[in-house]
Amino acid sequence: MAQELVTVFRSADESAAEDAADVRDLLAEAGFPVSLRDDEQPGVPKGAWEVCVPAEQEEAALAAIAAAQKAAPAPDASHALDLETLFEAVGTTAEVEALAVKSVLDAAGVPNEILGGSQMPNLPFQVQVPRAMLDQARAALAEAQQAGPAAAEEAEGSTEPAA
């Protein structure tokens, strides 16, 4: 008589195959006889992946999965990665100015995002950085402004081929 299997994990997300394989590995390491199934098997919804165990081990398998999820590190709930507006401009040169600020921040290794759209020139362009890096970003901009156009010309000249 075939052993009755029950599904303890099912996903149809883009990462379903990898997620199901991770759950399968977790349960196999814990000593559960485990089966990984995709939508090629009867009863599995199209695009889904499932992890199955014998029916009599369902509760223990679900408990093992829950324990592993609790042990996983929690996502960073701090506000250190929240984006703060470092620069904002409106007008015909706003986009160019925002791109210049972005290039300074990129060179300083500060992650940043530009918000705005050329289609709506009456709306502002903003450059945002993670809150935790706001001081570093301000310092990079201040240094670039202090160095002035001469430093920009020198940097540009160093990238041009020698004549």
What pLDDT is attached to residue 151?
A: 67
Q: Give 2's pLDDT tier (boundaries 50, 70, 90).
A: low
Decide: 94 and 115 in contact? Cβ < 8 Å: no
Domain assignments of the chain as residue spans, ordered by start:
5-71, 83-159
The C-alpha atoms of residue 104 and residue 97 are separated, in whole angstroms, by 11
Nearest to 101 by CA among 150, 152, 158: 152
Residue 1's pLDDT is 53
Check if the beta carbon of residue 54 is closer than 8 Å to that of residue 4.
yes
pTM above 0.75, yes or no: no
Per DSSP, which regions of 5-56 are E strands? 5-11, 35-38, 49-54
Q: Which pLDDT score is estimated for 162?
A: 65
**Interior angle at CA 80, CA 78 and CA 84, nearest 5:** 130
What CATH class does 83-159 carry?
alpha beta
User: What local confidence, expressed as pLDDT, does residue 155 receive?
Assistant: 60
pLDDT of 129-154, one tens digit each? 999 999 999 999 999 999 877 766 77
Other Cβ atoms closer than 10 A to 96: 11
Task: Check residue 157 and give its pLDDT.
Answer: 65
Query: In angstroms, rounded to a whole number, what is the distance separating the alpha carbons of residues 150 and 146?
Result: 10
Higher-confidence position of 5 and 75: 5
Q: Hey, do 5-71 and 83-159 end up sharing a CATH topology, with the first three levels equal?
A: yes
- Among the residue ranges 23-32, 69-78, 111-120, the one predicted with the least confidence is 69-78
Q: Tell me: the pLDDT tens digits for 20-58?
A: 999 999 999 999 999 999 999 988 889 999 999 999 999
Instruction: Quickly name the fold that domain 5-71 has.
Output: Alpha-Beta Plaits (3.30.70)
